[in-house]
Structure 1
């Protein structure tokens, strides 16, 4: 089985549109399958200058400034946008890209960014997420010329034309999270992909088993869902280059080796090969230094070719 490698960025830490465009175009040129970004409005440490960029505004630009690479969020927060508006935004960006968009959606967790930008942050958000997934998938699946209605606890949509439609017949939806029962059931009900975000490495295979059990309970096969993980990336052609890259993102080499795709090229190949053998089909490589395009070039030339 070939392991699918994607580039994942955190622009809220400080990145212009042009910074992200350079990484997205390098992602495309180097043969990674997708450029994904977080959906946050506040830096987590540091000043975040020049400030955040909205994820779906950014992806709309990238839809026109790239040609083949897939684009998406890991993950958009259900607290940020009304689902009816999000359905329009995502469908439009999918059209603008020629059918290259994927939507990762989660319940949201970063209370401080909500306070900073005046976004409501209810204590209980799983119901919001569930209804948003019901609405998004329901609107996109409604045949043209028919209407969609939803009357739930959090949202009411009445006779929506459910337009526009995505360019893709089935726009991929990604669900993640670590809950023991509700999240696996949600993934089994709605998702095309389940993502483990920065897991402890020894927990990956057991979690895949939990998700597969939820799929079976929902009458789905394991093959119907892509299993993915997101892990920080820091790889060097030798120890000195790895150490330099670790310092550039403010992380300790030993800690990176314990939690990420990190170290020398051979170490990265071994780790990714182990994840593939455990059932992981896709890895999102969290790329934190957006100026270091040589990093991605090294991974594309020396790591991906050995997988």
Structure 2
């Protein structure tokens, strides 16, 4: 089971804070550092010092880390034109020496679009499908050839389809809870399917839908990686667990029910239940980015038991 660190910087984090966490992620042996793609805080926080852009952040981290994979859960399709996104991600992949992964979603948080003057179209899923077609098509076009696409939402003519990523194939992540269109999209475009913040039972059900969609599309279901994202809150004892839960505005018992929380032994046991669903990768949502001891505990007493 791969463990990846997943951050939510829109809640309030500077680039320096993210760099510190990314370096700890690398030093402590975690598989990857991922971040969300949002421009507005959620909940009761003030979001200070303000948002950081996902791909500018990852570009910086690409030059200041050497091993960990870097990516997004999920880049909002509403934020970027697909041709521009393909250039950005390919460039960051080059800057990292081939360590980038692209999680791409439709975008959903209307308020942040209103706050920063970003159009929020009614039909987002159709746009997402075209974006996936364009981004993957641009990367797959042979050097010296051109790429054309004429869709309902985007139109590209005689694109040189440059630059090329460092990797032969940048992994594409698609995720969500949708029962029909999401599995179909994953079966067509995804290297990895991610289910966010779902129970063991709901994760197993959604993985089953994606596997069935892949097979229906003529693709082996095991071609995809299956992963889950869960809030993480681990404590050596009940007191430490309660302190960490309070620091992120949650209750320990609620986190045990809905997240990946408890003692290291409890967390390892729950990870095993997700593994039984077919998940081979977990994204640990870390909400208190100043608590590096939390990462050290997870590395020493959880991750060490999974190898």
**Aligned equivalent of 2:203:** 204
Q: Which residue in the other structure is 2:298 paired with?
A: 299
Distance 1:240 1:48 in 2: 28
In 2, the alpha carbon distance for the partners of 1:206 and 1:74 equals 21
The counterpart of 1:8, out of the listed 6, 12, 25, is 6
**What TM-score results when the alignment is normalised by the length of structure 2?**
0.98
Question: How large is the Cα RMSD of the aligned pairs?
Answer: 0.6
User: Partner of 2:257 in structure 1?
Assistant: 258
Give the Å deviation of 1:222: 1.9
Inter-partner Cα distance in structure 1 for 2:42 and 2:205: 29
SS at match of 2:52: coil
Match of 1:43 among 41, 44, 52: 41
1:132 has 2:131 as partner: yes
1:156 deviation in Å? 0.4
Contact 1:10/1:37 (8 A) holds in 2: yes
Instruction: Tell me, yes or no, if the aligned pair for 1:8 and 1:284 is still in contact at 8 Å.
Output: yes
* Deviation at residue 48 of structure 1 after TM alignment: 0.3
Task: Kindly report which structure 2 residues correspond to 1:233-248, keeping only aligned pairs within 5 A, or say none.
Answer: 233-248=232-247
Deviation of 1:202 after TM superposition, in Å, equals: 2.0
Deviations, residues 32-72 of structure 1 (Å, cap 9, x unaligned): 00000000000002100000000000000000010010000
CA distance in 2, matches of 1:5, 1:222: 22
Question: Following TM superposition, by how much is the alpha carbon of 1:306 offset from its aligned partner in structure 2, in angstroms?
Answer: 1.1
Give secondary structure in 1 for the equivalent of 2:219. coil
Structure-1 separation of matches of 2:266 and 2:84: 44
Q: Deviations over 1:202-251 (max 9, x none)?
A: 21111111111001001111220000000000000111100000000000
1:116 aligned partner: 115
1:240 counterpart SS class: helix
Secondary structure of the 1:244 match is: helix
User: 2:238 & 2:176 partners in 1: Cα distance?
Assistant: 33
- Residues 155-234 of structure 1: pairs in structure 2 closer than 5 A: 155-234=154-233
TM-score (norm 1): 0.98
The residue that corresponds to 1:30 in the other structure is 28
Q: Aligned partners of 2:134 and 2:239: how far apart in 1?
A: 50
Tell me, in whole angstroms, the C-alpha distance in 2 between the residues paired with 1:141 and 1:113. 32
Deviation of residue 139 (structure 1)? Answer: 0.2
- SS of the counterpart of 1:140? helix
Structure 2 unaligned residues grouped into runs of 5+:
none
Q: Distance in 1 between matches of 2:177 and 2:231?
A: 18
* Aligned-pair CA distance for 1:200: 2.6
2:115 is paired with a residue of what secondary structure?
helix
Q: SS of the residue aligned with 1:47? A: coil
Per-residue displacement from partner, 1:83-125 (whole Å, max 9, x unpaired)? 0000000000000000000000000110000000000001220
Task: Please give the alpha-carbon distance, in whole angstroms, between the structure 2 residues aligned to 1:19 and 1:236.
Answer: 22
Q: Are positions 1:79 and 2:78 aligned together?
A: yes
Q: Structure 1: which 5+ residue stretches go unaligned?
A: none
